[in-house]
Chain A
Amino acid sequence: MSAIGQPISRTDGSLKVTGRARYTGDIRVSGAVHAALVQSTIASGRIASIDTSAAEEAGVLGVFSYRNLPRMNPTPKPWSHLHPHGQGYLPLQDDKIHYAGQPIAMVVASKLDQAVQAATLIKVHYEVAQPVVFDADTTRAAIDPPQFLWPVASSVGDADKGIAAAAVKIAETYATPDRHHNQMEPHATTAMWDADGSLTLYDTTQHLYGARELIAMVLGIPVDKITIMCEFLGGGFGGKAYVWPHTLLAILAAKAVRRPVRLQLTRAQMYSMVGHQAATIQTIALGADNGGKLTGIRHESISPAPVFDNYIEYAALSSRSLWAASGGIATNHKIVHVNRNTPTAMRSPHEALGHFALESAMDELAYATGIDPIELRLVNDTATDPHSGRPFSTRAMRKCLIEGAARFGWESRSPTPRSMREGRHLISEGTAAEIYTHWRWPAKARVTINGDGSALVETGSHDLGTGTYTVMRQVAADTLGVAPEKVTVRLGDTRLPPSHASIGSATMANAGASVLLAAESARDKAIRLALTGRDAPFTRGQGADIRVAEGTLTLAHSNVSISYGDLLARNGLPNLVAEADYDPVPEHEGPKAIFSFSAVFAEVRVDPELGIVRLNRFVGAYDAGRIINPKTARSQAIGGIIWGVGQVLLEQSETDPTLGRFLNRNYSGYLVPTNADIPELDILFVGDFDEEASPLGAKGLGELTAVSVAPAIANAVFHATGKRIRRLPISLEKLM
C-alpha cells in the first residue's frame, strides 16, 4: 500500500507528547553561560553616555556595548534568500538609536538571573530625537523603494483606462495593522567555539544554510567552520527564516568569554529583536461591466520600513495573478522610513495583506453589481496568468469555488445584509478566494538503505511543525518500497545535504523532491545490483521489470525475489547510499505559472448590540496539488485558518505615537485566538498532481490557508451588519 496519501500520524509524535523532543532552548551544553540584553528605551537619537561599571562589578563574565564589541562586516544588499539577513543594521556597532528596543548592551554571566539583574545596573543616557512613526502624516511622504523580491510596480495593459470605461467602479482604501509572529518558542541561540576556530550553533532557524552563509559573511568566519543545528523548531511562520541580531551577539559573546553562551529572547524582546509584519495602507480600484467581468484592477500599497532598510510588504502582489481584467492590471508599492526594527515575512507574507483588500473589494463589487460572490469569481477566473501571460500549470479555482460552496451550503444564503438571525445574533456568510506564490528552489538529500532493510533519509530541511519528518518518511518509503516504520529521517543540521529555507510553503515540493530523487537513486542502485552484482538473483530483464515492495525486489512475471538485506549481504555491502541534487529552474523562468489556489467560506455570528463577532463554522477548499499526508495537511490548514481569524478579529501590534514603540509586547496585550474562539473547521483538498510544481505533484499549502480568511470573515461581517470594515482588526467598537 502506498504511504503517500495516507493520513499517517506524526512520526515525532511520541517525542512531542512526552516532552522528549529537544528544542534549541532545551539543549544543555556543558559549561554554557547566559547572555542578557539591554535595549534602548527610546526610539530615536543616540547614546550620550553608557555606564557599565556597576554591571561589571556584579561578578559577571563580560559586559558589551558598541564601545567594545568587535566590528562586523556590513550586510549584503539587496536582501536575498541566499543571504537572509533579517536586518541590515548591525547590533552594538555605533552609538546611534534607530528604534525602540534596539540592543545597546549585553551582559554575560554564569546564571541567567544574574545576567538579567546585572543588565539592569547599566546606566544609559540618551540624546533623544522625536521618533518618526507610520501614520497619516508620514505616509504622505512615502517613497519608491528599490526592488528586492519582486518588481515593485507592475503594469499589464491599461488598468486606468479599463476602470475609467467601466460600468461599475469600486475605489476604496483598506488598512492592515502591524502584527507579530509570536511563535510559542522564543528565538534562542547557543553558540560554542572550538579551539580550532570552528563554531557550533544551536539556533532557532528555518534556514540553516542561509544562516550559515550570512553569519560567515558578517562575522568573517569560513563557511566550512560553521555548524548549525535545529532538530525541532517551536513554530516559525517566517519569523525565524533570517538571522537577527541576537544570534550574532551570542556568537561574539561566546568568543569573548571563551565559554558557550546561551541567549534566549524574552517574549517582550520578540517585538523588537526580530521581525514583524508591517502595516499596510492599500488602495484598490476595480472596474467591471454589468456582468461583473473585470475591466481593470489598480492596487497600491504603502508600508513602513526602518530608516536603515527598504523592506517592502508586497501586498499588491496578489492582484497581479488572481483574476483576469480585460483592460489591464497595475500594481505599485511604496514605503515610509520610520523608527522601527525591520519587518519580515509573516504567514502569509504579502498575500494575506493584499487579499484582505482585493477580496473585500471583490465582495463590494458583488454587491454593486448584484452578482453572487461565487458567480462573480467564476466569471473572472482565468487559465492564463494575467501578469506573465503564461498558462497556469494547474488552477482548480473553479473546483474550489463550486465544491467548497456545495459543502458549505452557500445556495441557501440570503444575500441581503442583516437578513439572517438566530436569537440575539445576526448570522452571516462570506467567501473569498486565494492565490499563493509557488517557489522552486534547489535542495539536496541523501538516502541510505541499510543491511537490516531499514533506510535513512538525510536532508538539511526543517520541521517547524509542518510535519517534515513524517512526510519525508512517506516519500522515501514509497519510493524505496519499504514500510514507513523502516525509514528514519534526519533534519536540522548543516552537516546534512543542504536544503533550502523552510519558508513560502516550499518544503514539500522542493525538499520533498530531493528526497524523492535520492530514494529513486538508491532504489535504482539496488536494482542494478540485483541485475549485475555478485550472484545477481535476476538473470534477465532490466530495471523497469523490477518491482520493490515491503523491502523486497521482485522480477516481473517471476517468483524470483530478494530483500534489500540479502542483496547487500550477498554483495558484501554494509549499505547503499545515494544522493540527489534537485535543481529546478526558478518558477518565473518556467513555461507555466505555478500557484496554489483556494476558496474559503465563513459563517459568523454577530452580536449587533455589543459588536462581538465570533466564527460559527468554516469551509476551506484548497488546490495545493497532490496531498502527501491528509492528516498533517489538514492540521496545517486549520492552523492557517485560525491564523487568519487572529488577523481579522484580534491581532495588532500597537505603537505609542509619542514614544514610537510597540506597547502591547505580551500575550495578554497582543491577542491571538484561544481555543474558545474556534469552532469546527471543514477542510477539502481538491487539487491534482501538478508536475510543473514538483516531481511529487505537490504545491504549497501552509501559507495558502491563511491568505483569505480575513476577507471571507470581513465579507461575512458586512453580510451580517451592512457595515464594511476596511481597517483591521474588526474590533467590536467598529460594529457598535
Chain B
Amino acid sequence: MHPFALSRADDPATAVAIQTRDPGLAFIAGGTDLIGLMKDRAALPERLLDINHLPGMSYIEARADGGLRIGALARMSDVAASLAVRERFPLIAEALLFAASGQLRNMASIGGNIMQRTRCAYFRDEDDLPCNKRRPGSGCSARHGLNRNHAIFGWSDACVATNPSDLAVALAALDAQVIVRGRTGERSIPITEFHRLPGDTPERDNALDRGDLIVAVDVAARREARASHYLKVRDRQSFEFALVSAAAGIAIDGRSIASARLALGGVAHKPWRLRAAETALRGVSLDDRDALRSAIAASFAEARALAHNAFKIELAQRVVVRALQVAGERT
C-alpha cells in the first residue's frame, strides 16, 4: 500500500470537522473494503481517521414501537446474531448472513457495508484500467467489455457497475433511513436515495458530502417485515457477491398479497426498488404464479441488457417470484 498517516477520532464532532476540511482524509472502521481499494490503488487517501472508538455507535436498539436502530459501527455479525433483528426483520439478518464470510462479518461495520464500492473488475484492477468511476473521463471498459455481472437498470454509457451490498437491498425494501451527521448537524437520508445512479458522474456512489459521517441506520416497524426473505443467487453456494438478489416482504390477506415490499440487488448502481411491481402485486394470490409474474413484469419494462447479462432480466423476475413464495411461507 501507499504510505499514509493514521489517527484516531474520539468524538463524532471532531471526526466530522476534520474530514470536512481535509479532502485527503478517509474514515476507516472495519476496513474490509477500504483496505482492498487501497491495495488495488483504487483509493489513495493520504490520511486515515480511525472511527472505531467513537462512543455509542455500536448499539443495536430494538425499539418499543417495533422498529430498529442500528449504530453505524455495529458489526455485521452482531446485527445478524441479534434475536430482535432476526425475529422482527428476518430479511435483514439473512441479507447479512448471505454476505461475505464469517471473518469479514466480524470486522465490517453497518455504515461501511452500505458505503461499499462496486466489485466491477475493471474498477478494481491494480493496473488502473479505463474506468470513469476510478478516473473520471477515462471511459467505461465494462460498457463494451465483459459485463455479465453488471447492471440492467439505471446504467449510463459512463458506468454500468452494480452496488455490491446485500444489506442495502434489504434496507431499501424496508424504506430504512440512513442517519448522517455532517457539518450542518444530523440529517436523515432515505436509503433509497442514499445511493446514486451513475449518470455522468459515476465517481460519486452516494449522497454523502465531505465530512458526512453515518451514525446509524433506522428501520421503522413494517407490517411486511416478518413475512420476508432475502434470496441471493450466485454462481457458488457461499462467499460470493450476488449475481441477482431480492429482498421481499409481504403482508398477507388469506393467500393474497395485501402489500409488498421489493428490492433487487446486483442489477443497478443502487438497490433497485420495484415500486410498480409492489403496486401491481396487491391482491394477487401467492399461488397464482402467472399473476405474480405479470405483476412483477410491471417493473421490468425499463430493464436494458448489456452484451453478457440479458439473462439477468429473466432471472431477476424469477428470483422475485421465489422470494415472495418463501416469504409467504413465513406468515
Using a CB–CB distance below 8 Å, which chain A residues touch chain B?
39, 41, 113, 116-117, 120, 268, 609-612, 614, 649-650, 654, 656-659, 663-665, 668-669, 671, 673-677, 731-733, 736
Contacts and interface: CB of A to CB of B under 8 A. Distances in A.
6 contacts: A41-B129, A612-B233, A659-B141, A673-B236, A732-B233, A736-B318
B145 A656 contact: yes
Contacts of B319: 610
Contacts of B21: none
Contact of B235 (A609, A650, A657, A659): A650
A731 B238 contact: no
A609 B326 CA distance: 14
Contacts of B144: 658
A656 B121 CA distance: 11
B87 interface: no
A731 B241 CA distance: 15
A308 B78 CA distance: 55
B3 to A, nearest CB: 7
Nearest to B129: A659
B164 to A, nearest CB: 10
B237 A614 contact: yes
A676 B236 CA distance: 8
Interface string B221-239: 0000000000001011111
A591 to B, nearest CB: 47
Contacts, number: 78
A663 B236 CA distance: 19
B1 A674 contact: no
Given A656-B141, A733-B315, 9 more contacts: A113-B3, A116-B1, A117-B2, A609-B318, A610-B318, A610-B319, A659-B145, A668-B119, A671-B235
Given A117-B3, A673-B236, A731-B235, A611 B315 contact: yes
Contact of B238 (A116, A654, A677): A677
B322 A610 contact: yes
Contacts of A116: 1
Main SS of the interface on chain A? loop
Nearest to A657: B145
The list of the 4 closest CB pairs from A to B, nearest first, reads: A733-B311, A676-B238, A676-B237, A41-B127
B287 interface: no
A676 B321 CA distance: 25
Interface in B58-100: none
B34 interface: no
Contact of B126 (A268, A611, A673, A732): A268
A656 B119 CA distance: 16
B125 interface: yes
A671 B145 contact: no
Contacts of B236: 649-650, 671, 673-674, 676-677
A432 B240 CA distance: 30
Given A117-B2, A609-B322, A669 B121 contact: yes
Interface string B289-331: 0000000000000000000000100110011011000000000
A668 B240 contact: yes
Given A610-B233, A650-B235, A656-B146, A664 B121 contact: yes
A658 B146 CA distance: 10
Contacts of A41: 127-129
A649 B318 CA distance: 21
A668 B311 contact: no
A536 B319 CA distance: 83
B311 A736 contact: yes
A611 B243 CA distance: 12
Nearest to A663: B121
A679 to B, nearest CB: 11
Given A609-B318, A656-B141, A733-B311, A663 B237 contact: no
Given A663-B122, A668-B119, A671-B235, A654 B146 contact: yes
Interface in B99-150: 119, 121-122, 125-129, 141, 144-146
A677 B236 CA distance: 7
A120 B238 contact: no
A673 B236 CA distance: 7
A671 B241 CA distance: 11
Contacts of B2: 117, 120
B210 interface: no
Contacts of A654: 146
Interface in B189-242: 233, 235-241
B118 to A, nearest CB: 12
B41 interface: yes
Contacts of B321: 609
Contacts of B126: 268
Nearest to B126: A268
Contacts of A611: 315
A732 to B, nearest CB: 7
